[in-house]
A and B are shown apart, each in its own frame.
Chain A
């Protein structure tokens, strides 16, 4: 019997919360299609409770992750790049399938995703030197300002770019010490779920990145209004009215909000996606004998 007649063992696509792969607590799934509208898999349809659990996991992970040395965080993010490189062919297939890209185009997107991780990994122990300062106050005090992660960041991944877009919004948030709950591209969720397999094997502590798949309209209001989320990146919101509503909800605890904006994910980024989720802490101490 020729190999081509072998029946594949298919993957069950689940959520990624706290380092584990649960199904949606709601027991629901939705159909993930390829670019031509053909059935590919049933993805988990995350509920508000899944969103809540993901925020809980991200909060739990925050203290440990933010306390890691920047050197260590940089190595972990670099490790993600290594793992991604090792499974490059698989991602080329999935991106190609999800986005309808040619193999060549998909290959360049996966390569760019890997390179982006490497780029951000290097920032881990440099960003404080670039945006921190010692402040020459007019008095006998040593005064310095340092960036610190803002906390739990909710991210709505871009709908169009299933892997590069996702990496481009998640990597800058975590490399500085935040933890993330990301809602994968609603129509193209599968590369995100496969990426969680990479994350799970990259020395990244459970809960630092939590990935939900599901409906933007259903999940994002719960993330935007959650009082234990510190910031929300609306990158993937293309409905202006929804974006406004989410920003209004985010005001309940004064989340830092990154509004949707035109992005070309293939372009080399600037620092803005790291800086928006950083706080500046200023410390004063007298100088005396």
Chain B
């Protein structure tokens, strides 16, 4: 049931951008602006009511077990602290490979997310586990640095073996209406994340962090999502985790609508990563319900939906144990890494 991409009669366009509109959008600064401001508005109250309504879904028994394992497999297990050390990162990697050492059926997480200087440590610790290494880059979290420094930051992480780059957009530029600058920067970072032809693997996946807590309105979240996707983002990510609010349900809802509509228009699928503030199994399952009922099945996969988190994993493990043993567990039975 794809949304049609054709224009309607008399030059009246549809609610959503058309394929032609997308091509036109990136032609000039003014057309980009026109395009982003032509996107349908988001009513705050309605969007929040919809997210709240989906949050009342009651996920029980077999569905809950399934969702917990899926959520674990979607985690970007994250440590992004000034106090990070190789030891801390190695411990986290061990946890990523075997979240519940007592239960070999417990899935691995999707990735480890660290600062660029920790990428080599993580690569080594994860070895051939298949777990990816994601590195934040571009003067994370503020993004306030010159472009060449951001590019060097990115290239450094990629050279160290990062599989995924989590970049931040220039929120200052976005909020002052300099969309072309934001767009160009994403394009440049995407190029910096590319590996040369013939490298033993493809380019690093680019996740574009919108820092929605600084964009404030859902209209801005929708525009920034489209802007990032037009510029080539493989994933759009809510937050750095350093700004409140971070990944709220309505923000994730609006971004899921954006990736759904973007695929309808362009045929290209983009992933979504809420990050920051997702701490409990209930939070995680609510996110999965949102995915299920907004973007649909195709996004219910670690390739297309990630959850950036640190403490969430242990809560998922506790719930997992509760289901398998029938009794409530306690934090002492799960590793703190």
Interface-facing stretch out of A54-62, A145-153, A281-289? A281-289
Q: What's the least CB distance linking B310 to chain A, in Å?
A: 31
* Count of chain B residues near A, Cβ 8 A: 7
Q: Which A residues are CB-close (under 8 A) to B48?
A: 288
Contact in complex: A286, B43 (CB < 8 Å): yes
Chain B 46-67 interface residues, beta-carbon cutoff 8 Å to A: 46, 48
Q: State which of B45, B216, B217 has its C-beta within 8 Å of the C-beta of A286.
A: B45
Within 8 Å CB of B217, what residues of A? 289
The 5 nearest A-B residue pairs measured at CB:
A288-B44, A286-B45, A288-B45, A140-B45, A289-B217
> Quick check: is A71 within 8 A (CB to CB) of the other chain?
no
Cα separation A140 to B44 with both chains bound (whole Å): 10
Structural contact, B216 and A289, CB atoms closer than 8 A: yes
Determine the residue in chain B with the shortest Cβ distance to A289.
B217
**Residues of chain A within 8 A of B44, CB atoms compared:** 140, 286, 288-289
Q: A123-147, CB under 8 A of B: which get 1 and which 0?
A: 0000000000000000111000000
CA of A286 to CA of B45 in the docked complex: distance in angstroms? 6
Using Cβ atoms and an 8 Å threshold, which residues of chain A touch B43? 286, 288
Q: Interface residues, chain A, CB within 8 Å of chain B? A: 139-141, 286-289
Q: How far is the CA of A141 from the CA of B49 in the complex (A)?
A: 12
Chain A-chain B contacts (Cβ-Cβ < 8 Å), number: 16
Query: 1/0 per position for B130-154, CB-CB distance to A under 8 A?
Result: 0000000000000000000000000
- A sample of 13 inter-chain contacts (CB < 8 A) reads A140-B44, A141-B45, A286-B43, A286-B44, A286-B46, A287-B45, A288-B43, A288-B44, A288-B45, A288-B48, A289-B44, A289-B216, A289-B217
Could you tell me which residues of chain B, from 27 to 49, have a CB within 8 Å of some CB in chain A?
A: 43-46, 48
A286 to B43, CA, bound (A): 8
Chain B residues in 8 Å Cβ range of A287: 45
**What 11 additional pairs, Cβ within 8 angstroms, besides A288-B43, A289-B216?**
A139-B45, A140-B44, A140-B45, A141-B45, A286-B43, A286-B44, A286-B46, A287-B45, A288-B44, A289-B44, A289-B217
Compute how far the CA of A287 lies from the CA of B217 in the bound complex, rounded to whole angstroms.
13
Residues of B within 8 A of A141 (CB): 45
A273 CB to nearest chain B CB (Å) = 40
A166 vs B215: C-alpha distance in the bound complex, in angstroms?
A: 64
A287 to B45, CA, bound (A): 7
- Complex Cα distance, B44 from A141, in Å, reads 11
* Distance from B92 Cβ to chain A, minimum over Cβ atoms (Å): 38
A274 to chain B, nearest CB (A): 35
Closest A residue to B45 using CB positions: A286
Complexed CA–CA distance, A286 and B216 (Å)? 17
Q: A245 CA to B217 CA in the complex, in Å?
A: 60
Residues in chain B near residue A289, CB distance under 8 A: 44, 216-217
Residues of B within 8 A of A288 (CB): 43-45, 48
Specify which chain A residues have a CB less than 8 angstroms from the CB of B46 in the assembled complex. 286
- Min CB distance A10 to B, Å, is 64
A140 CB contacts on chain B under 8 angstroms: 44-45
* Chain B 204-242: CB-based contact to A (< 8 A → 1; otherwise 0): 000000000000110000000000000000000000000
Cβ-closest chain A residue relative to B217: A289
Q: Given the complex of chains A and B, what is the CA–CA distance between A286 and B44 in angstroms?
A: 8
Interface residues of B in 17-32 (CB under 8 A from A): none
Closest Cβ neighbor of B47 among chain A residues: A288
By beta carbon, the residue of chain B nearest A288 is B44
Q: Which residue of B lies closest to A141 (CB)?
A: B45
* Complex contacts, A286 vs chain B, CB 8 Å: 43-46
Report the nearest A residue to B216, measured CB to CB. A289
Q: Which chain B residues in 168-186 approach chain A with CB under 8 Å?
A: none
Contacts of B45 in A (CB 8 A): 139-141, 286-288
With a 10 A CB-CB cut-off, give which of B43, B45, B216, B217 has the most chain A CB atoms: B45
Q: How far is the CA of A107 from the CA of B140 in the complex (A)?
A: 89
In angstroms, Cα B45 to Cα A139, docked, is 9
> In this complex, what residue of B is CB-closest to A287?
B45
The answer for the CA separation of A289 and B48 in the assembled complex, in Å, is: 12
Kindly report which residue of chain B lies nearest to residue A286, judged by CB atoms: B45
C-alpha spacing A288/B47, complex, angstroms: 10
Q: Closest CB of chain B to A143's CB: distance in Å?
A: 12
Residues of A within 8 A of B216 (CB): 289
Residues of B within 8 A of A139 (CB): 45
Q: Whole-angstrom distance from the CB of A139 to the nearest CB of chain B?
A: 8
Within the complex, the shortest CB–CB distance from A117 to chain B, in Å, comes to 46
Complex alpha-carbon distance, A141 and B45, angstroms? 8
In the docked arrangement, what's the CA distance between A289 and B46, Å?
A: 11
CA distance A141 to B217 in the complex (A): 18
Closest Cβ–Cβ distance, residue A14 to chain B (whole Å) = 52
Measured CA separation A140–B49 after assembly (Å): 10
Cα A289 to Cα B218 with chains together (Å): 8
Query: B312 CB to closest chain A CB, in angstroms?
Result: 29
**Closest beta carbon of chain A to B102's beta carbon, Å:** 47
Bound CA span A288–B45, Å? 6
Whole-angstrom CA separation of A139 from B52 in the bound complex = 14
Smallest CB separation, B49 vs chain A (Å): 9
CA distance A288 to B41 in the complex (A): 12
In whole angstroms, what is the CA distance A288 to B216 when docked? Answer: 11
Complex CA–CA separation, A286 to B46 (angstroms): 8
Minimum CB–CB distance for A142 against chain B, Å: 11
- Distance of B121 from chain A, by nearest CB (Å): 43
A255 vs chain B, min Cβ distance (A):
38
B70 vs chain A, min Cβ distance (A)? 32
CB of A72, distance to nearest CB on chain B (Å): 35
Write the nearest CB–CB distance from A141 to chain B, whole angstroms. Answer: 7
Q: In the assembly, what is the distance between CA of A186 and CA of B45, in Å?
A: 58
